[in-house]
Amino acid sequence: MMPRNIDAKKVSPDRARIYWDKARDFFRMMRDAAQAGNWNGTGLAAVHCAISATDALLVAKAGRRSASKAHDDAADLVLTYVRHPQTTEQARRLRGILNQKTMIEYVDKHFHAQSALELQKQVERYVAWVQSLLSI
């Protein structure tokens, strides 16, 4: 059962492919930005990749996606709807990825290479897990 305090929209599971395609686009953008040394771009594309991959997963598995203003609520939805031995670990990874969003977008500091490359690694691991659960 979905936690009451997390706003979620019902979405037909056949729409999961749209979110997955977006995740793949952001994944390529993340890698391209990293190769170009664009660390802010790497970080932002990484976060959006994780968001879209999570939407694809939740839509495919539960016919829902987060509509909460708090992006990390999506990690709670993953815990609620995805049954897999690695769900807890991956939801924790997702929460860490999403917690970087404010730093990248709104804080008056640059997102440097070390942070961007670590975030990229975490997103690559998360997306690989999501892909293993999707049949699209």
Q: What is the pLDDT of residues 6-37, one digit of tens each?
A: 888 999 999 999 999 999 999 999 999 999 99
CA-CA distance, 33 to 45, in Å (whole number)? 8
In a domain, 74, yes or no: yes
Residue 71: inside a domain: yes
In a domain, 90, yes or no: yes
Q: Note the pLDDT of residue 71.
A: 85
**Is position 6 within any domain?**
no
47 domain-assigned: yes
Q: Residue 107 domain-assigned?
A: yes
Rounded mean pLDDT of 49-72?
A: 95
Smallest CA-to-CA distance from 53 within 109, 134, 117, 120 is with: 134
Is 4's pLDDT higher than 60? no
The residue range of the domain holding 37 is 11-133
H/E stretch holding 64: strand 64-66
Q: Which two tokens stand for residue 136?
A: 């699209």
pTM: 0.93
Q: What does the pLDDT look like over 99-119, one tens digit per residue?
A: 999 889 888 888 999 999 999
- The pLDDT assigned to 5 comes to 72
The values of phi and psi at residue 20, to 5°, are -65, -40
Question: Is 2 part of any domain?
Answer: no
Output the pLDDT for position 94: 98
Residue 21 maps to a domain: yes
For residue 30, give the 3-state DSSP assignment: helix
Q: Is the pLDDT of residue 134 over 50?
A: yes
CATH number at residue 27: 1.20.120.330
Distance CA 14, CA 40 (A): 33
Quote the number of domains for the chain: 1
